[in-house]
Amino acid sequence: MLKFKSSGIAQYLLVLMFVTPSGFADAPRKAGGDQAVRKAQYLLRQLSEEKNKLQTQNNQLETELTELKKKLAKVKKTLGKTNKKLDQSRSSNSQLVERVKSDRDRMQEILNKYRQAAQMLRIEKSNVALLKNAVGERNNWIDKCKANNDSLYEVNLELLGKYKDKSAWQALKQDEPVTGLGNVKLEVIVDNYRFRIEDLQVADFKKNDEENSPVTSSIQ
C-alpha cells in the first residue's frame, strides 16, 4: 500500500511540475483546481511523514543491528574463552588420568614389595624358631654332658678311693659287688655318651641338609 501511495504522489508531483504559473493563476477560475492542489499537498505531507517514519524505523533497525553486532562480538569472545577453558580442562583431565595411572602402578609395585617382605618375614620367623629349638637342644645336650662328666668324676673318685694304697693283686682280689657297681655306672655313662654321639652325627647330617635347603640359603 505504501508503494501504491508513493507512486500516486509521484504522479501528482509530475503534474505540478508541468503546470505553469499562469495555470496556477487560472486555477481559481476552474472549479476543481483548489481541490487538486490541496490533495497534492496532502499527499506530499503524507509522503514526508511516511519517509520520516521509515527513516526512524531504519535508524532503530540500524541501532538494533549495531547492538546485535556488539552482543555477537561478546558472545564470540565468551565462546572463545569457554573453548580455551574447555581445552585447558581437557589437558588437565589428561594429566590427571596419567597421574592416577602412575599412582596406581606405583601402589601396585609397593604392594608387591610388601607381599615379598611379608613372605620373607614369615620365613625369618620360622628360621628363628628353628634356631631357638636348636639352641635349646644344644643347651640340654651341654647340661647332660656336664652331668655325665660329674658322674664320671664321682666314679673315678670312688674307684680311686677303693684302690688307693693297694697293690694290683689286692685290686684283683677286691670284692665283686663293689667293682661291679662301678662297672655298671661306667657302662651306663658310656652308653649315654655313645647314644649322644650317634644323635650328634645325625644332627650334623641334618644340619648339612638344612644348609643346602632354600630356607637356610635365604637366611644367609
Run of H or E residues at 56 = helix 33-163
For 78, the grid coordinates are 565468551
Question: Is 82 a domain residue?
Answer: yes
pLDDT top residue among 25 and 61: 61
Please report the beta strands in the chain, taking only residues with DSSP state E, as ranges in sequence order.
none
The answer to whether residues 9 and 98 belong to one domain is yes
Which domain, by its residues, includes 173? 139-219
pLDDT tens readout for residues 146-161:
877 777 777 667 766 6
Instruction: Answer whether 28's CB lies under 8 Å from 34's CB.
Output: yes
pLDDT top residue among 182 and 191: 191
Give the residue from 81, 106, 131 where a domain finishes: 106
The answer to whether residues 26 and 87 belong to one domain is yes
Please state the separation of Cα 107 from the chain's center in Å: 7
Give the residue from 55, 87, 106 where a domain finishes: 106
Instruction: Answer whether 192's CB lies under 8 Å from 144's CB.
Output: yes
pLDDT tens readout for residues 92-136:
888 888 888 888 899 999 999 999 999 999 999 999 989 888 888
The answer to whether residues 147 and 96 belong to one domain is no
